[in-house]
Amino acid sequence: MKKLFFLMVACAIATTASAQFVNSGSASSAKSGAGLSAMSTDDYNRFYVGYNPMKINWEDHQSKLEESYPLTQSLTVGYLHASSLSSNIPLFLEYGANFQYSFGKEKEDGDEWGINVYSVNVPVNLAFKLQFNDVALTPYVGANFRVNAAGTYKYEYEDWDGETETEKINLFDDSDADDAMGDNAAKRFQAGINVGVGFSYKALYLGVGYVSDFSKVFDADEMEGKVGMTTLTVGINF
């Protein structure tokens, strides 16, 4: 939540600075007006890849469950389109989709366990693009919708004979979850708040953001958890 708070503050500062620039431009000379008009309101597109440190924020027993369900990082690849909302103000509606592979593992006393999840995210953001020549700063805020297509929990251990045994559990199958995790199948759909800021130089895009889910990925007795995820993005605008 601290990361989300600081990102929201950064976006608010950037947006306020943008608004002040717009207001001062309209009240100043023709030269300032020309600078404002140079801010493109054309639609844009972006291909991007991302690395996302993440974790499940549990309502109780955080350290124990975080170790048991080590979902710690993910990789994404996606596409985004931004539609202009005004011919005079660089305000955009951004939307698109990305494929996400999330994973993590732990090891102790020869035993090893981990999680792999395959998901599709659909972000929908309101963005303000403050541009000066080849450089642009784009704060955004919106919503993120995630559909988990597949996921497994893998556990490797040594049996009494010293042989390595492997168990794989479908995280989203009720019967698997009931047998191995006490009626705690994961949820396939999550929705959350999406906030961040992007920096562009010509076609190159760098972004940092945070996604905080408000729907649970696990929702069972004493096992209620939501995903929190930092997004670090590199992309190409066109």
Model pLDDT for residues 95-118, shown as the tens digit of each residue: 999 999 999 999 988 899 999 999
Give the C-alpha separation, 118 to 102, whole Å. Answer: 6
Whose CA is closest to 98, among 44, 46, 172?
A: 46
20, pLDDT greater than 50: no
Task: Looking at mean pLDDT, say which of 28-37, 162-171, 193-202 comes out highest.
Answer: 193-202
User: Regarding beta strands 189-201 and 73-84, do their DSSP bridges make them parallel or antiparallel, or are they unpaired?
Assistant: unpaired
Give the C-alpha separation, 11 to 7, whole Å. Answer: 6
- CA 90-145-7 angle, 5° bins: 55
Residue 183: predicted pLDDT: 61
16, pLDDT greater than 50: no
Residue 19 tokens read as 């608004």
Classify residue 172 by its DSSP letter: T
**pLDDT tens digit sequence for 48-71:** 999 999 999 999 999 999 999 999
Return all residues near 112 (Cβ < 8 A) that are at least 6 apart.
105, 106, 155, 156, 157
184, pLDDT greater than 80: no
Percent of the chain with pLDDT over 70: 80
Q: Is pTM beyond 0.85 here?
A: no
- CA 72-74-76 angle, 5° bins: 165
Whose CA is closest to 230, among 209, 205, 214?
A: 209
Count of CB atoms situated within 10 Å of the CB of 74: 22
Q: What is the dihedral of CA 119, 124, 129, 135, to 10 degrees?
A: 10
Give the C-alpha separation, 223 to 217, whole Å. Answer: 10
**Which has more pLDDT, 145 or 5?**
145
Inter-residue contact 70 to 115 (CB < 8 Å): yes
Averaged confidence pLDDT in the chain: 85
**pLDDT tens digit sequence for 199-238:** 999 999 999 999 999 999 999 888 899 999 999 999 999 9
Residue 58: predicted pLDDT: 97
